[in-house]
Amino acid sequence: MNVIYTTTLAQTLSAGTDVAAGETTAAAGQRQSLIDTAASWLHSHLTLTWLVEQVSDYGPKLVYAIAVFVIGKWLARFVTSAIIRGAKKAKVDETLLGFLNNLIYMLLFTLVCVASVESLGVDTTGLTAILAATGFAVGFALQGSLGNLAAGVMLVFFKPFRVGDVVEIGATVGTVVEIQICNTILLTLDNVRIIVPNSKVTDGTIKNYSAEPHRRIDLVVGCGYNDNLKSVKKVLQGILAEDDRVLSIPEPVVAVSELGDSSVNFVVRPWVSSHEYWAARFDLTERIKLAFDEHHFTIPFPSQDLFVHRSDAAEEPATTLRAA
């Protein structure tokens, strides 16, 4: 019985092996047939005569297409530069010049690419349709970038700020270096370059510190309750009068604004040119402190009186501690 089972299993395995070997041989034969067919086609078509015909047919078109691309690219740069030079002579805003330079060159370069492809004999009608469909798909995928582009156009034409202005966008304060198609580049006061997407610029609040020629410095100066208020006010007015950067119109303001917990607070509000704001603010703060020292005025700091009551208060007086 075991002999019969073993013989049957051996025959089955042998038959399976023969089938697999036959399939492998057939696949190898098909591959060899395809290779032979390809080699036969190349041998019959890839001849010197065929190469000469292809070069004579497509060579001039290829050379012409390359010439169109190279010359067209140069012309695109030349025309863009000519337009920008004319705009500069017409005293067009510098902010608009940088934006137009990128936009005009991109449009002209696209036309050059289409003309170069068309010179090869390619029907650009279908290509235009494909490009339109591709552009729609890409535009849908790049909604954020298109939003930045639209915001850049708004910034250029509505001009909330110009190149060189000091602005605050969100939490960033800096000088506008360039308004690009999709981004606005700022240079912070500590010389760090910040790139802000244009959509973020237009979606938030923009503070332009350079838009107006004059700015007001707002200082709060405190003196002690024991100081003579008229003398303090006179000293503060004298400091402002001695500074040539302080404008007489609008007239600077020095007035008591608050009777605080520890001090009598004055508001000191001089007007200066916008580009001198920080230098004047720092100098005035320093001169006020030196003048207070010279006239022995006090600049009080917050203080509290702490009374400690002990259980034997009847025998010993209450202790008073002063904490700064």
The ranges of the chain annotated as CATH 1.10.287.1260 are 53-141
| Torsion, Cα of 111, 117, 119, 120 (10° steps) | 180
Q: Is the pLDDT of residue 144 over 60?
A: no
Q: Considering the domain delimited by 214-294, tell me its CATH architecture.
A: 2-Layer Sandwich (3.30)
Domain 160-208 classification at class level? mainly beta
Using DSSP's 3-state secondary structure scheme, residue 95 falls into helix
pLDDT of res. 12: 54
**Contact yes or no for 297/242 (Cβ under 8 A):** no
pLDDT of res. 3: 47
Q: For 92-96, 264-268, 292-296, which range has the lowest pLDDT when averaged over its residues?
A: 92-96
Q: How far is CA 306 from CA 162, 316, 320, in A?
A: 56, 17, 6
pLDDT of res. 238: 94
Q: What is the CA radius of gyration of the chain?
A: 42
Nearest Cα residue to 93 out of 151, 150, 157, 154: 157
Average pLDDT on 110-116 reads 79
| Sequence-distant (≥ 6) Cβ neighbours of residue 293 within 8 angstroms | none
The domain made up of 53-141 has a fold known as Helix Hairpins (1.10.287)
Average pLDDT on 119-125 reads 66
The ranges of the chain annotated as CATH 3.30.70.100 are 214-294
Q: How far is CA 196 from CA 112, 119, 182, 189, 203, in A?
A: 32, 41, 9, 16, 12
Average pLDDT on 139-158 reads 67
Angle ∠(71,74,76) on CA atoms, nearest 5: 110
Average pLDDT on 221-245 reads 93
Q: For the whole model, what pTM was predicted?
A: 0.54
pLDDT of res. 134: 64
Say if residue 314 is exposed, middle or buried (CB neighbours under 10 Å; 0-12, 13-18, 19+): exposed
In the chain, pLDDT over 90 holds for what percent of residues?
29
Rounded CA-CA distance 33/109 in Å is 48
**Tens digit of each residue's pLDDT (9 = 90 or more) over 64-74:** 778 888 888 88
Alpha helices in the chain, H assignment, sequence order: 2-45, 48-89, 94-119, 124-141, 143-158, 198-203, 229-242, 277-294
